[in-house]
Amino acid sequence: MAATIKDIARESGVNISTVSRALNNGYGVNYQTREHVIAVAARLNYHPNRIARGLVTGRSHSLGLIVSDIRNPFFAEVARGAEDAARAGNCDLVLCNSDLDADKQMQYVQSLLEKRIDGIMMNSVSALSREQQAQLAGSGVPIVLLNRPASNHTFSTVCADNEAGGALAARYLLGLGHRKIAHLTGPRQHGNLSDRAQGFVRALQAAEHQEQPVVLRGKFTFEGGAELARKLLDEHPDVTAIFAANDVMAFGVAHAAIDRGLRIPEDLSLVGFDNLQFSVIVHPPLTTIHQPKYEMGSAAVDVLLRLARDKGKQIPEHRRLGVELIERQSCMEPRAGLLRASQRA
Ligand code: RIB
């Protein structure tokens, strides 16, 4: 049987309240008594019952992280940053995958609230109805939205400067001389991806003599990238460069292009977004927009812990982290791409 606080009180000859204050660094316990109680607790192999303590303090010292799908390595890095920051703040992290399914997401929220979670970080609130958002806001638990722009004033947000990232990709490809450029991305309601698309399209439109880019939307996964690339290559064989909305989509694009006998970058230039660790080891190494994933996770926990501490003052905080273009070997000037198109025509 696990030792309880009562056992420690009996063994150490002090009352339960003194044991509790000694173990929790509380007031009014002298040094010798505290050391004695701690020694008895160690001898009895005592572990505090967090659930019982949570009932008293109203805190569980755990935070929830709801992502769309941890299989996207982007979220693994965000989760790692969040976990390290949570641990530094004496909290555990509970991970949930929503699959962007609003019902599943709300079931997780409910279950986390029942566990008296201290705060929730969510990646995918855009799929929630107004009613569900109101429910979340009324839960009394701090919420931080990850990857969402600051337009939502009810909740705090942490995201990268997605619009600037899209513009960086556009200017880079223009600088190499590309004019027939496509963007493959996810659903319109996915705020961070839409910001990337907007930055990209605006930067292209600002350039002289630039044709309208082709923008195709689908799933923002490896399979989604491959599927959109096949459609693009069928319908627009003259495209010489692709900006994929994230790295896993870019890997799918590369897979589809290679299947068609195309070479990257000789026949098709490719830019991704995220700067996953894998983007260095794929062939050719992927030019991509870096977003600070680990830092985003730790920033979200930082905001959450502050909100959890200042329970009375739930003033939303919005943090936007900078992005940069990492140039590797998946892009070159479009001469070969144009040649390929003319050979096909
Ligand atoms: O939600 C999917 C995407 O959004 C990730 O790949 C990453 O780019 C994130 O910002």
Give mean pLDDT, residues 208-217: 85
Q: Write down the pLDDT at residue 152.
A: 57
Tell me, yes or no, whether 247 and 119 share the same domain: no
Instruction: Give pLDDT tens digits for 128-157.
Output: 778 888 888 888 899 999 998 777 568 899
Residue 329 pLDDT greater than 80, yes or no: yes
Tell me, yes or no, whether 179 and 40 share the same domain: no
Task: Report residue 127's pLDDT band, with 50, 70 and 90 as the boundaries.
Answer: low
Residue 11 lies in a domain: yes
Q: Calculate helix-pair angle for 247-259, 222-235, nearest 10 degrees.
A: 50
Calpha distance 104→215 (Å, rounded): 30
Domain CATH code at residue 306: 3.40.50.2300
Task: Report residue 44's pLDDT band, with 50, 70 and 90 as the boundaries.
Answer: confident
Model confidence pTM above 0.75: yes
From the CA of 72, give the closest atom in ligand 1.
6
Instruction: Give pLDDT tens digits for 76-105.
Output: 999 999 999 999 999 999 999 998 888 899
Tell me, yes or no, whether 296 and 220 share the same domain: no
* Domain extent at residue 276: 162-291+326-344
The order of strands in the sheet holding 269-274 is 214-217, 181-185, 241-244, 269-274, 287-290, 324-326
Tell me, yes or no, whether 218 and 82 share the same domain: no
Calpha distance 268→118 (Å, rounded): 48
Domain CATH code at residue 12: 1.10.260.40
Instruction: Give pLDDT tens digits for 149-179.
Output: 777 568 899 999 999 999 999 999 999 999 9
Burial class (CB in 10 A: 0-12, 13-18, 19+), 241: buried
Tell me, yes or no, whether 200 and 73 share the same domain: no
Tell me, yes or no, whether 180 and 151 share the same domain: no
Q: Which two tokens stand for residue 25?
A: 């660094």
Kindly give the distance from the C-alpha atom of residue 313 to the centroid of ligand 1, in angstroms, as a whole number. Answer: 30
Residue 53 lies in a domain: no
pLDDT above 70 covers what percent of the chain? 91
Q: Write down the pLDDT at residue 343.
A: 55
Tell me, yes or no, whether 338 and 204 share the same domain: yes
Q: Write down the pLDDT at residue 126.
A: 61
User: CA torsion 227→172→157→66, rounded to 10°?
Assistant: 30
Tell me, yes or no, whether 78 and 185 share the same domain: no
Tell me, yes or no, whether 147 and 166 share the same domain: no
Pocket perturbation via mutation, ligand 1, pick of 220, 286, 290, 323 by most ligand atoms within 8 A of CB = 220
Q: Write down the pLDDT at residue 227.
A: 98
Residue 54 lies in a domain: no
Task: Say if CB 239 and CB 232 are below 8 A apart.
Answer: yes
Tell me, yes or no, whether 138 and 73 share the same domain: yes
Regarding the beta carbon of 200 and ligand 1, being less than 6 Å apart is answered: no
Q: Write down the pLDDT at residue 60.
A: 83
Domain count, the chain: 3
Tell me, yes or no, whether 267 and 250 share the same domain: yes
Ramachandran bin of 93, using left for φ above 0, alpha for ψ from -120 to 50, beta for the remaining angles? beta
